[in-house]
Amino acid sequence: MTNRALSFPSSPVGYVFRPTDEELVNHYLRLKMHGGYEQEVSIIAEVNVCDFEPWVLPGLSTYQSNDPESYFFCPRSYKYVNSHQANRTTVAGYWKVTGKNRIIKAKSTKEHIATKKTLVFYENRVPNGVKTDWVIHEYHPTFSFHNQRDFVLCKLKKHPDENMPTFEESESSSNVPYGFGNQNPTVRNYPLILEEGGHTAQMASNLANNRLEEEINQLRTQLESFRGFDDGDFGLNSALQFSPGNYM
């Protein structure tokens, strides 16, 4: 059953709901399992995530925003009666556990309060599953209550496309500061330390030296195109004063 509270139809401008792992478990999940605290946890919807495809789930969130993460209380669902094997299949695919489980501890007491599992969504069926960018973190509590309601808490997000170009690859040289990106690998590897009101003298010196060296090489190439050029007749100062326009 999907529970969409009407008290959070949309979020205020600039609002981001980003609780820590401990807050998700020790506050929201604990109160949800205990029962009787629906108002305190109503910002997180109750949804059986495997009843829907991952691209549908963000629209089922209690509140709507541009935040890339969505949160849900999910009733535990098992494949078979008297089995503790979770049912993680949907109509279009399945969720697969990947990586190592992480232990969530309370900062104050260092108590182990939950285990976090990472799930990745695959379209189709095993063994022909196709990996997608949809990921869920499942929080399984270690505590329990008398007559508790059995839930896990799910944090859904979609990773950006790994094939998207990075800043250095996507920006043209005209939009990248001189000496950065793939245009000049020698300069790119220097550490850049920017501070309010200035920059490091070492970085400025490196940039100036490389720029000067490039200009000299360009001028030397142009000078060599003239007949009778003698490399010994041109020092650094005369080369810098050379202007191709004077010989056109």
Q: Where are the domains of the chain?
A: 21-158, 171-247
What pLDDT sits at residue 11?
66
The yes-or-no verdict on residue 6 having pLDDT over 80 is no
Contacts of 95 (CB under 8 A, 6+ apart): 50, 88, 89, 119, 120, 121, 122, 136
* Residue of 9, 45, 11 whose CA lies nearest to 153: 45
* Better-predicted residue by pLDDT, 213 or 150: 150
> What is the rounded average pLDDT of the residues 182-202?
38
Classify 105 as helix, strand or coil: strand
pTM over 0.85: no
Contacts of 149 (CB under 8 A, 6+ apart): 32, 33, 35, 75
What pLDDT sits at residue 85?
80
The CATH class of 21-158 is: mainly beta
Contacts of 216 (CB under 8 A, 6+ apart): 236, 239, 240
Compute the distance between CA of residue 219 and CA of residue 169 in angstroms, rounded to an integer: 29
* Residue of 182, 178, 204 whose CA lies nearest to 191: 204
* Better-predicted residue by pLDDT, 33 or 169: 33
> What is the rounded average pLDDT of the residues 105-129?
96
How many Cα atoms sit within 13 Å of 180 on the Cβ side? 14
Average pLDDT, the chain: 74
Structure tokens belonging to residue 193? 């330390």
Q: How confident is the model at residue 14 (pLDDT cuts 50, 70, 90)?
A: confident
Q: Give the pLDDT confidence of 67-91 residue by residue, as tens digits.
A: 889 999 999 877 766 667 888 999 9
